[in-house]
Every structure is written in structure tokens, then in C-alpha cells.
Amino acid sequence: MAKQPQPCPCGSGLSLTNCCQPLLQGMPAPTPEALMRSRYTAYTLRNVAYLQSSWHATTRPAELDLNDNPPTKWIGLEIKHSSETENVGEVEFIARYKVNGRAGKLHETSRFRKVDGYWQYIDGDMVE
């Protein structure tokens, strides 16, 4: 019996192999939304290297530690709005998570900039 492909954590409905994995392996994201989805997937997989490399150099933290105690379990991503112009993009999203069994959500409008053919995360504003 064939093994079912792993669904992508970003919630696109595609398999990880056909969605975010190529971006995590270095392929440029075609849109700011695709980058946002791949960054969410990187958080679920604790892929610090990808998060750092997809973060714009002017706002990237020197270190990023995803070893929370207790650990954050990311459980869903909802894209509310996405827009882009030639080299600037914005994505509003809600990322749902659990810590110690308690549910929470991160609602943010993120800004992106295209640099040398690669979309990069700049920063974001929390939405109340």
C-alpha cells in the first residue's frame, strides 16, 4: 500500500512536497502569500535556517530560538488578505497554536519586499 503524502502544514490542501518544501529548499516564493505560508510551515517544522534566510537583513534578529518550553504546537493558518505590487507585498493572516493545551492565535499583517528575485519578510503589525 502506497504511503500517503504528508499534507502541507500551511493548509493549502496540497502535499508538503508540492507546496512549501521546494521553498524551504531554496526555490524563490512566487508571491508574498507563498512566502508567508512557507514561513508558517518553517515554524511548524522548527526550521530556523529558513526563517532567518527569508527574513530581510534590516529586520532579521541575530538569533531565533524556537525551543519553547513548553513547546508551541502550530495548528492552523488562515490567510485573510494578500496583496502585492512589483516589489512590495502585504499578507494578513491568523496563525492558530496551542501551548500546554491552551489555544491561542497570532493575527498579524505582515510586510514583504522582493530582493534579488526573492520575497523576504520585513515586519508585521498585530491586529486586535
**What nine digits make up the cell of 69?**
518550553
4 part of a folded domain: no
11 part of a folded domain: no
CATH code, 79: 3.10.450.50
Q: Which residues contact 96 (CB under 8 A, 6 or more apart)?
A: 74, 75, 76, 77, 78, 103, 104, 105
Q: Which strand (E) or helix (H) includes residue 38?
A: helix 32-45
1 part of a folded domain: no
Give the closest residue to 23 by CA, choosing from 2, 42, 4, 45: 42
Burial environment of residue 97 by CB neighbours within 10 A (0 to 12, 13 to 18, 19 or more): middle
- Whether the CB-CB separation of 121 and 107 falls below 8 Å is answered with no
State pLDDT tens for residues 12-62: 999 999 999 999 999 999 999 999 999 999 999 999 999 999 999 999 999
Q: Give the model's pLDDT for residue 2.
A: 65
40 part of a folded domain: yes
> How far, CA to CA in Å, does 101 sit from each of 9, 70, 75, 78?
19, 10, 11, 20
State pLDDT tens for residues 82-115: 999 989 999 999 999 999 999 999 999 999 999 9
pTM assigned to the model: 0.94
- Range(s) of the domain holding residue 31: 21-126
Q: Give the model's pLDDT for residue 41.
A: 98
Q: Give the model's pLDDT for residue 1.
A: 66
Count how many domains the chain has.
1
103 part of a folded domain: yes
Three-state DSSP at 114 gives: strand
